[in-house]
Structures are given as C-alpha cells and as structure tokens.
C-alpha cells in the first residue's frame, strides 16, 4: 500500500504520483519536466514509482481512493494497459519459477541411510498423525464414526526455500475424502469472488475451483484423491466482475506419506 510510514514515500513521491496520474497543476508539471530533463536519475525514480504502483494494482492491494484515480488514468490508455498486463505476466512468471526453485531445493536434500530414514519417517508420521488429530490447523470431521474430511489452514509463505521449511505439512488418512483448506490472508473482502488453482511445478493445474469466504478467511474444498504425497502450490486468485482472474497469493504445502 502506498502509505508514507511503511513505504518511505515522501512529499516528492506524492508529487510524482500526481504527475503520473495527470493530476499535477501547471506549475508542478513544469517543475517535474525540468527535473526530468536535467536529472537522469530522476527519470528512473519516476519510472520505478510507476512500476511499483502498477504492481500494487495488479496485486489488488491498492487503496480504494488511489485505485479509482489510477484506473481513471491508466485504463484509458492502451499503452498503460499494456504496462499493467506486463506486470501481471511478470508476477505470474515469478510465481511459477518460485515453485520450480522450491521443488529443486527439496530434491537436493541430503539422503540418510535407509534405517535412519525409516526411523525418521516413522517418528515424523507419528507427530503428523498426532497433529492432525489433536491440533489446529488440521482437524478431522467424523461422519458415522468415519473421518471423511479434514481441515488445513495455510499461511502465505514467501517460498519453501526462503522459509527453510515446506510450509504446511500433513498426512492424509485413507478414509479422508475431502480436504478443507482455509487460506489465511491479510485482507479478505466478503463480496469478492475467489478461485484457487492447485498444482505442482510439473502439473500446474491439477485442480481449480471456486473458493468461499468463511470467518474472515478464504476456504476451498479439494478432493483428497488428488493429493498424492508430494509438494503442492495453491494459488489464490480474485475474480473480477468481467470474469478476469488476478493472482493474489500462492500457498505452499506438502502431503507426507
């Protein structure tokens, strides 16, 4: 968000934003052009603020007032719409490569001798089972004495390698038919429509479905049979009124044996 404290925006930055949105008065405009002509680094500053503003719009995190001003100026120009589209593509490509890199990292893990691995797996499994049964974020729903669904809360993580872990990890018991994912997010708009795309780096779209807003989080149900042991990404997208999708956050998780 463009907030002075957090982003270090100065009065000068606000002036640049007014210039970019065609809101600068004659005097301010003339001053800006003078600087653009005389100072090469100022051009880069203006361009970098423009890029950042566009990316903020693409993330869907622009404050309503600025969003309105931005759309008035940017959606009216084909060239500027192309810049928005470029930013959107860059973001998608970065997400895809992030997932690939995370997988490559996980493949490079050190392998221990078989007995150690068996012991470690058994211990880990015991912990996972205990966790699934007794603790959040994963809980199970019983129907007629049989567990048919489980719930998992996913937190947004930068990526697996950066966090030093694999995001949420859990096992799925044989009887489980559905997984209810709750996607934690800073801002959830009750009237916003969402969808998710589940994938692995090799198979980016193994499942897509509409998500719902529940208790301030976004929730989606995924058939358990789709989740073989392995690493997954769950991309949350917003759905605009015209049906276009915009990626918001990618969640990572691992299904263990």
Kindly list the residues in this chain that would bind other proteins in the complex (CB under 8 A). 1, 6-9, 19-20, 22, 33, 36-37, 40, 43-52, 55-56, 59, 61, 75-83, 85-86, 88-98, 100-101, 156, 158-159, 161-162, 240, 242, 244, 249
* Cβ–Cβ < 8 Å for 157, 252: yes
The nearer residue to other proteins, 141 or 240, going by C-beta atoms, is: 240
**At closest approach, how far in Å is the CB of 94 from other proteins?**
5
Q: Cβ of residue 244: shortest distance to other proteins, in angstroms?
A: 5
Closest separation in Å from C-beta 253 to other proteins: 17
Separation CA 160–CA 105 (nearest Å): 9
Least distance (Å) between residue 166 CB and other proteins = 17
Question: Is the Cβ of residue 21 or residue 124 nearer to other proteins in the bound state?
Answer: 21
The number of angstroms, rounded, from the C-alpha of 14 to the middle of its chain's C-alpha atoms is 28
The span from the CA of 122 to the CA of 108, in Å, is: 22
Instruction: For other proteins, give the closer residue by CB, 17 or 132.
Output: 17
Please, which residue, 98 or 150, has the CB nearer to other proteins?
A: 98
Answer yes or no: are the C-beta atoms of 70 and 21 closer than 8 Å.
yes
Q: Which is nearer to other proteins, 101 or 180 (CB)?
A: 101
To the nearest whole angstrom, how small is the minimum distance from the Cβ of residue 176 to other proteins? Answer: 31
Label residue 8 left, alpha or beta by phi (over 0 means left) and psi (-120 to 50 means alpha).
left
Classified as helix, coil or strand, 170 is strand
Phi, psi of 101 (to 5 degrees): -60, -40
Q: What is the DSSP annotation of 84-145? A: HHHHHHHHHHHHHHHHHHHHHHHHTPPPPPHHHHHHHHHHHHHHHHHHHHHSSS-EEEEETT
Q: Name the 3-class secondary structure at 201.
A: coil
* Residue 156 vs residues 87, 100, 183, 252, 257: alpha-carbon distances, Å: 21, 17, 8, 8, 23
> How far apart, in whole angstroms, are the C-alpha atoms of residue 236 and residue 196?
5
Q: How far is the CB of 156 from other proteins (least distance, A)?
A: 8
**Least distance between other proteins and beta carbon 206 (Å):** 19
Tell me whether residue 23 or residue 175 sits nearer to other proteins (CB atom). 23
Q: Which helix (H) or strand (E) holds 172?
A: none
Question: Based on CB atoms, which residue is closest to other proteins, 170 or 232?
Answer: 232
């Amino acid at each position: 968000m463009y907030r002075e404290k957090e982003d270090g925006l100065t009065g000068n930055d606000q002036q640049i934003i007014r210039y970019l949105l065609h809101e600068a008065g004659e005097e301010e405009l003339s001053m800006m052009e003078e600087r653009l002509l005389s100072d090469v680094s100022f051009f880069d500053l203006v361009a970098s603020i423009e890029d950042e503003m566009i990316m903020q719009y693409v993330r869907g995190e622009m404050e309503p007032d600025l969003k309105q001003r931005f759309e008035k100026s940017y959606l009216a120009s084909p060239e500027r719409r192309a810049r928005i589209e470029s930013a959107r593509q860059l973001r998608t490509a970065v997400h895809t490569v992030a997932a690939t890199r995370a997988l490559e990292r996980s493949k490079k893990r050190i392998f221990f001798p078989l007995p150690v691995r068996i012991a470690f797996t058994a211990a880990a499994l015991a912990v996972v089972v205990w966790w699934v049964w007794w603790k959040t974020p994963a809980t199970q729903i019983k129907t007629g004495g049989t567990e048919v669904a489980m719930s998992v809360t996913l937190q947004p993580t930068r990526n697996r390698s950066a966090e030093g872990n694999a995001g949420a990890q859990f096992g799925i018991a044989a009887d489980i038919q559905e997984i209810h994912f709750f996607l934690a997010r800073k801002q959830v708009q009750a009237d916003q429509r969402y969808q998710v795309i589940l994938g692995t780096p090799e198979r980016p779209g193994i499942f897509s479905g509409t998500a719902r807003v529940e208790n301030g989080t976004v929730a989606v149900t995924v058939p358990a049979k789709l989740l073989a042991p392995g690493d997954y990404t769950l991309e949350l997208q917003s759905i605009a009124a015209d049906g276009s999708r915009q990626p918001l956050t990618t969640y990572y998780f691992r299904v263990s044996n």
